[in-house]
Amino acid sequence: MKIVYKKSFKDRLQEHIEFIASDNLKAAKKLKNQLLRKTLSIPDNPYLFRQSIYFEDPQIRGCVFKNCTIVFKIEDPIVIVFGFLKHQQFPTDEDERYTKP
């Protein structure tokens, strides 16, 4: 499977990394690398991760890593990574096709 990163994921991740970097640049870089490595493992077995609590679609899953949730949708043969949560209420800021009704 191929992995695709949506802008909503990239923006949220960048915002979180910048917040951490304002206090500790080294920790921010380390976390970003770890999170991106974790996303690369998703296509190997996407159904290993639990169904997202934010959506009713069983194809939308959440990968929890270091108190962060990476939200993705399985659309065989690709995995679309579109959401990132740390303390936010919803996985994306944008009104796109994956937002909760």
**Mean pLDDT value of segment 58-76:** 93
Residue 46 has pLDDT above 90, yes or no: yes
Distance between CA atoms of 91 and 63, rounded to whole angstroms?
Answer: 12
Question: In the chain, where are the structural domains located?
Answer: 2-85
- pLDDT tens-digit readout, 6-36: 999 999 899 999 999 999 999 999 999 999 9
Beta bridge partners of 51: 61
Q: What is the pLDDT of residue 57?
A: 92
Q: What is the CATH number of domain 2-85?
A: 3.30.2310.20
Residue 54 is encoded by which pair of tokens? 């934010």
Are 54 and 100 in contact, with CB atoms under 8 Å apart?
A: yes
